[in-house]
């Protein structure tokens, strides 16, 4: 009996070792195949190629086959990204991802050239000047959109529900991100507009709320997260905590159990439990969805607008020896209810679609904001 058990254990170990060894051999064969393909291209392709660019494209192809958010960042792209999260950078003012081989706009940023020109969340950029985007990596497409301040660029856009391609001529600017704005609207409604989650957003929103609270007549608040493409997870947690008295804010789950984490609110609601509405739309993504979802799950706020983008994953910037980095999806985040918002987004409590093509945030045509004001004013 014991001999039989030993024999079975030995057989299982042999099978496991054999399969692991076979899998390892397959990987080495693929690496050899890649080298052979690259060599054939260098020798036989009709035009001379830049081997460095070819390798960058191959690395990017590997990463983007995983999901739309993982990507290779050469040193120059990494430097630009670090500038963006600090609150000032040059360009058009849009957050983008790659989908089905074309660049998809996650959200235009308020008061930037892209926003003023009429670029919308969900638009597909199919051509940049005279260059087709199809076949380009996200880094290459972003690089094409950057240029000297004051220079022009032409974007060809495909938009859902519009048959013809749209063309936008935009002048590049230095992008100053003012992530928090506030105002007191009709009948003493406190209005807070959060456009992104950069390293200063939490401190800025706390300051704006304190200013609003000086007016003792403010009876309710609107937090506007529309066209907010997200940003730093730490700021999403910090800002959610401002409005919650206790309970879970968000959790992340990874392939590595040791990296699974949960964040909880500390006691103290900065608005003293005053009525609150959160405005969301398809341009609300990532960190914006964490805040909206947490406040909805805890029944702290009423969500008004449209379903959000559905970017429910966390990316880490992993440095490389060449001073570049890879942006890699390392975990997914989950709302307090346990729901993942990946690809589905956060659904509003009251769905109000944009009224028309003439719709513009914070104007008379902003029917979503107008509905929220009407709701709060009874």
Q: Which residues are catalytic?
A: 286, 297, 311
Q: How far apart, in whole angstroms, are the C-alpha atoms of residue 364 and residue 11?
A: 75
DSSP designation for 52 = H
- Quick one: tokens of 106? 């996650």
Q: Which residue has the tokens 């959060």?
A: 194
All residues at 6 or more sequence positions from 42 whose CB lies less than 8 Å from its CB, including other chains: 49, 51
Nearest to 155 by CA among 133, 138, 122, 177: 133
What is the CB neighbour count within 10 angstroms for residue 350? 13
Q: Are 196 and 179 in contact (CB under 8 A)?
A: yes
DSSP β-bridge partners for residue 183: 191
Q: Distance of CA 276 to CAs 82, 189, 192, 222, 354, Å?
A: 33, 10, 11, 6, 21
Residue burial 130-165, b: 16+ Cβ < 10 Å; e: rest: eeebeebbbbbbbbbbbeeeeeebebbbbbeeeeee
Strands (E), the chain: 71-73, 88-91, 94-99, 102-108, 124-128, 131-132, 152-158, 166-171, 173-176, 180-185, 189-194, 220-224, 248-254, 261-264, 275-280, 302-305, 313-319, 325-334, 350-351
């Amino acid at each position: 009996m014991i001999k039989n058990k030993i024999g079975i254990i030995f057989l299982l170990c042999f099978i496991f070792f054999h399969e692991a060894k076979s899998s390892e051999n397959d990987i080495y064969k693929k690496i050899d195949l890649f080298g052979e393909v690259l060599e054939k291209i260098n020798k036989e392709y009709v035009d001379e190629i830049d081997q460095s660019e070819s390798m960058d494209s191959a690395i990017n192809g590997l990463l983007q086959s995983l999901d739309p958010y993982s990507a290779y960042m050469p040193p120059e792209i990494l430097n630009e990204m670090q500038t963006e999260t600090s609150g000032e950078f040059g360009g058009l003012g849009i957050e983008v991802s790659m989908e089905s081989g074309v660049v998809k706009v996650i959200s235009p940023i308020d008061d930037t050239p892209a926003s003023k020109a009429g670029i919308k969340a969900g638009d597909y950029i199919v051509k940049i000047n005279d260059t087709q985007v199809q076949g380009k990596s996200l880094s290459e497409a972003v690089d094409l959109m950057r240029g000297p301040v004051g220079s022009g660029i032409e974007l060809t856009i495909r938009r859902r529900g519009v048959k013809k391609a749209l063309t936008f001529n935009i002048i590049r600017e230095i992008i100053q991100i003012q992530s928090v704005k506030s105002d007191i609207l009709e009948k003493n409604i406190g209005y807070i507009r959060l456009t992104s989650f950069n390293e200063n957003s939490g401190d800025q929103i706390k300051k704006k709320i304190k200013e609003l609270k000086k007016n003792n007549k403010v009876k309710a608040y609107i937090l506007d997260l529309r066209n907010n493409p997200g940003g730093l997870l730490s700021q999403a947690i910090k800002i959610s905590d401002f409005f919650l008295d206790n309970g879970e804010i968000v959790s992340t789950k990874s392939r590595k159990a040791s990296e699974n984490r949960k964040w909880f609110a500390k006691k103290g609601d900065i608005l003293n439990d005053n009525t609150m509405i959160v405005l969301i739309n398809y341009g609300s993504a990532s960190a914006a969805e964490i805040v909206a979802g947490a406040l909805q799950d805890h029944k702290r706020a009423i969500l008004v607008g449209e379903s959000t983008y559905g970017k429910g994953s966390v990316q880490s910037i992993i440095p490389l020896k060449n001073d570049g980095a890879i942006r890699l999806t390392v975990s997914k985040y989950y709302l307090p209810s346990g729901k993942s918002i990946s690809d589905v987004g956060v659904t509003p409590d009251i769905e109000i679609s944009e009224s028309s093509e003439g719709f513009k945030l914070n104007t008379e045509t902003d029917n979503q904001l107008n509905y929220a004001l009407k709701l709060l004013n009874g």
